[in-house]
Structure 1
Amino acid sequence: MKHPFKYEIIYSSRKTLAIQITPNGSVKVRAPKRCPKSTIECFLNEKESWILKHVNKAMQNPPVMKNLLSVQERNRYIKIARDIFTQKTAYYASILNVTYGRITIREQKTRWGSCSSEGNLNFNWRLIFAPEEVLDYIVVHELAHRREMNHSQAFYAIVKSILPDYKKSQKWLRDNGRSLWTVV
Structure 2
Amino acid sequence: MEVFMDKTTPDHIGRTQAPEGSIPDEVSIRIIRSSRRTLSLQVRRGGEVIVRAPLHASLKEINAFIQKNRSWLAKHLAAVQKEKEEEDQHPVQPLTMEEIRSLADEAMRVLPARVSHFAPLVGVTYGRITIRNQKTRWGSCSSKGNLNFNCLLMLAPAAVQDYVVVHELCHRKEMNHSPRFWAEVERIIPEYKTYEKWLKTEGKHLMRRMTG
- TM-score, length-scaled by structure 1: 0.62
1:177 aligns with 203
Taking only aligned residues, the RMSD between alpha carbons, in angstroms, comes to: 2.2
Deviation at 1:74, TM superposition (A): 2.6
Alignment partner of 1:150 is 2:176: yes
**Native 8 Å contact 1:64 1:182 kept in 2:** no
Deviation at 1:85, TM superposition (A): 0.9
Alignment partner of 1:164 is 2:190: yes
1:126 aligns with 152
Give the count of matched residue pairs.
126
1:108 aligns with 134
- TM-score, length-scaled by structure 2: 0.55
1:77 aligns with 103
The Cα offsets for residues 101-127 of structure 1, whole Å up to 9 and x where unpaired, read as 101100111110000000000000001
Deviation at 1:183, TM superposition (A): 5.7
2:115 aligns with 89
Q: Equivalent pairs: percent with the same residue? A: 48
Work out the CA distance in 2 between the residues paired with 1:134 and 1:147.
21
Runs of 5+ in structure 1 lacking a partner?
1-56
Bigger Rg, which one: 1
Deviation at 1:181, TM superposition (A): 3.3
Runs of 5+ in structure 2 lacking a partner?
1-83
**Native 8 Å contact 2:104 2:133 kept in 1:** no
